[in-house]
Amino acid sequence: MGDLTEYTIKRLIIGVFIILAVTVILFGIMQAMPGDPIELLAGERVSPEKIAQLKAQWGLDKPVYMQYFYWLSRIIRGDFGRSMVTKLPVIELIKARLPYTLLLTGSALIVEYVIAIPLGLLAALKWGSKTDHVVVTLSIVLWSMPSFWLGVLLMIIFAIKLNLLPLSGYSGLKSLILPLLTLSLPSLAGTLRLTRSEVLEVLREDYVLTAYAKGLPKYKVLIKHVLRNALVPVTVMFFLYLPWLIGGAVIVETVFAWPGMGRLLWKSITVQDYPVVQAIIFIIALLTVISNTIGDIVSAVLDPRIREAL
Amino acid sequence: MDWSILRSGLRNISFKLGGIIFLSVVLTAIFAPIIAPYSYDEMHISDRLKPPSSKYLLGTDQYGRDIFSRIVYGSRIALKVGILVVIIETAIGISLGLLAGYYGGKADKVISFTTDVFWAMPPLVLALAVVTLLGPGLMNVMIAIAVVSWAQFTRVVRAKSQSLKKMPFVEAGKAIGESDISIMLRYILPNTMGAIIVLSTLALPSAILSTTAMGFLGLGAQPPAPDWGVMLSEGISYIKTAPWISIFPGLAIVYTVLGFNLLGEGLRDILDPRLKV
């Protein structure tokens, strides 16, 4: 297991560097924003002496790289400053909304996998047949659907015409169903096609042919050899998809007035509440890098060949 | 031009179907003033929120504007945005990929790390950050989307040029004293074209999806522009009484994006089957 430990450590170090790079980019974007944060916060009637004092207090009189380290040490402690609109601590705003976003994206991911893996497997086993064509075509159509349109369509059908489900907002788990479908349906195409192509590839491997030749029953070959190997990349994809779904959640949460972090991000952008925008983007980046790193380590655990690549 | 490619293209169903949709969108954009019965911002105050009829094929919106005409003109925005975004991102992606793959060493390390950083962020979220910086508007959204999506081109071009630079014909070019730039542009680049064409055909629909999403969020094209995403979001307030305002622009997006995706898939099967994911 020596090379696995080494791989894991290397991968973690790279992850830390990527997060640092992201913080530099975010800090740079904030620096480039129009307007002086102190003057914006203090208003116009504050004396120049007071402004200088505030700047010293916030470390804004120091050189830019020092400001970056001050800022970095603050966000490591979870201090993202205060919202310019509501004046509340940013971290409190996010804490109230993050669970809703994780509920939405987490369940969307599960639904996506529950639908995509069996369909992908089916298409691969019936490769070239009508079933295969239907599944593949369906996945391209879903892939081409903007989630905001699918969301509106589902709203019209299930909330307005049939009156089965709540239109928007959060009022219990029933209101999760439509946002969940809107988020998972367009993105399940990726998992479906990955499963299909991986299974197709493994089916052509020598060890599968050998297993058949040995006279193993078909279902045993499928489970022991085909699925076990084909699902390695599919499992890894699980971790790589999470951040994409959080990105997609910005739109879905906006459509359905879902009280999550994505909608908060959108609202903060429209009112130019920069501290909130910065904090949310940082948290999404952090979640992304963490899940990418987990994904890479999981794939190294499952497939020894990958460990040598770094 | 290799005619066998075209011939195998005509046998490929998704290439054929995608090609027909692509042509229909391009022709609609070119002949928009002829096809559309009204202009995109002409208001018929007495005909507000009218359902589809023979007078207004797809109904009218809250200002009495003809939705069909607006969708027809909207194809110009979608195409313009898609093409410009793809041009910018291929330009960034190809040049970085060539530099990283051809020179290797430090240049490669820096470029690959940058690619990893950009790869590590959900593109839509990063684009939102850039739009926050630049401010809303169609031009800024196009820049934002291009800035966040070049990385896939860099990855493919880098990998291809790494293997191509060991080829005998590149060695020969070096031996006769060709400059690095000329080797990259005349020896390596043409051999990555198949992959680049496929990737950019597939990048076009995703650029259209992202810009309409930005329009939907109110950050992209601004009203009264007949951007499909903007039209869709305007319709949400009338979703109970006049659902057609949102439904039809969305259908236009699906039609266009589906067409380009099919075309891209077909091209990939024909030009470079190994790129298949």
Q: Which domain CATH number covers B131?
A: 1.10.3720.10
Do A246 and A283 contact (CB within 8 A), yes or no?
no
pLDDT score of B76 more than 90: yes
The Cα A178–Cα A170 span in angstroms is 11
Task: Examine the pLDDT at B73 and tell me if it is beyond 80.
Answer: yes
pLDDT at B38 over 80: yes
CA distance A180 to A147: 11
**Residue B186 placed within a domain:** yes
Taking an 8 Å cut-off on Cβ atoms, the answer to whether B235 and A156 are in contact is: no
Show residues of chain B in contact with A244, CB under 8 Å: 122
Q: Is the pLDDT of residue A237 over 90?
A: no
Q: Is the pLDDT assigned to residue B214 strictly greater than 90?
A: yes
Q: Spell out which residues of chain B touch residue A281, defining contact as CB-CB under 8 Å.
A: 125-126, 128-129
Tell me which chain A residues have a C-beta less than 8 angstroms from the C-beta of B236.
152, 255
Q: Looking at chain A, which residue has its C-alpha nearest residue B202?
A: A144
Query: Has residue A121 got a pLDDT over 80?
Result: yes
d(CA A112, CA A99): 20
Please classify residue A16 by burial: count the beta carbons closer than 10 Å to its beta carbon, then call 0-12 exposed, 13-18 middle and 19+ buried: exposed
Query: Which chain A residues touch B262 with a CB distance below 8 Å?
Result: 140
pLDDT digits (tens, 9 = 90+) for B139-190: 999 999 998 889 889 988 998 898 888 888 888 988 898 888 898 988 899 8
- Weakest mean pLDDT among A34-48, A249-263, B95-109: A34-48
The verdict on a CB contact (< 8 Å) between A156 and B257 is: no
What local confidence, expressed as pLDDT, does residue A310 receive? 54
**The residue to which tokens 């940082």 are assigned:** A282
Phi, psi of B104 (to 5 degrees): 65, -155
Task: Give the HSE-up count for residue A46: Cα atoms under 13 Å, Cβ half-sphere.
Answer: 13
Structural domain contains residue B98: yes
**Mean pLDDT taken over chain B:** 89
Nearest chain A residue (CA) to B259: A144
The answer to the question of residue B5 being in a domain is no
Q: Which of B121, B129, B216 sits opposite A148 (nearest CB)?
A: B216
Query: Structure tokens of B163?
Result: 């293997």
Tokens of B11: 């046998």
pLDDT of A295 above 60: yes
CA distance A244 to chain B (A): 5
Nearest Cα neighbor of B225 from B145, B138, B131 is: B138
Q: What is the mean pLDDT of residues A256-276?
A: 91
B276 or A200, which is more confident = A200
Q: Which residue segment(s) compose the domain that B205 sits in?
A: 69-260
For chain A, what percent of residues have pLDDT higher than 70?
Answer: 92
Distance CA B200, CA B89 (A): 9
Q: Write out chain B residues lying below 8 Å of A18, CB-based.
A: 116-117, 120
**CA dist., res. B155 & res. B151, Å (int):** 6
Tell me what the mean pLDDT of segment A258-268 comes to. 93
Q: What is the mean pLDDT of residues B117-125?
A: 81
Q: How confident is residue A37, by pLDDT bands cut at 50, 70 and 90?
A: low
pLDDT at A285 over 70: yes
Q: Give the tens place of pLDDT for each residue, A74-109.
A: 888 888 888 888 889 999 999 999 999 999 999 999
Residue B64 included in any domain: no
For residue A70, what pLDDT band results from cuts at 50, 70 and 90?
confident
Q: pLDDT band for A308, please (50, 70, 90 cuts).
A: low
CA distance A4 to A308: 9
Minimal C-alpha gap between B70 and chain A (Å): 17
Q: Which residue in B14, B239, B258 is closest to A156 by CB distance?
A: B239
Nearest to A18 among B120, B131, B233 (CB): B120
Nearest CA in chain B to A197: B277
A contacts of B276 (beta carbons < 8 Å): 197
**ipTM of the complex as predicted:** 0.87
Task: Tell me what pLDDT residue B277 has.
Answer: 40
Task: Evaluate whether residue B269 is within a structural domain.
Answer: no
A33 to chain B nearest CA, in Å? 6
- More confidently predicted of B1 and A229: A229
Cross-chain Cβ contact A243/B121 below 8 Å = yes
Kindly tell me if the per-residue pLDDT of A40 is higher than 70: no
Query: Does A22 score more than 80 pLDDT?
Result: yes
Locate the DSSP E strands across A177-295: none
B26 occurs within a structural domain: no
The answer to whether the bond into A34 is cis (omega within 30° of 0) is no
Which of B120, B265, B277 lies at the smallest CB-CB distance from A194? Answer: B277
A275 chain-B contacts, CB cut-off 8 A: none
- pLDDT > 90: percent of chain A: 26
Task: Calculate how close chain A gets to B88, using CA atoms only, in Å.
Answer: 21
Q: In chain A, what residues touch B215 (CB-CB under 8 Å)?
A: none
Taking CB atoms and an 8 Å limit, are A146 and B236 in contact across chains? Answer: no
Partner residues linked to B66 by β-bridges: B60
B76 domain-assigned:
yes
Asked if the structure places residue B202 within a domain, the reply is yes
Q: What is the mean pLDDT of residues A50-72?
A: 79
Residue A269 to residue A264: CA distance in whole angstroms: 9
Number of domains in chain B: 1
pLDDT band for B276, please (50, 70, 90 cuts): very low
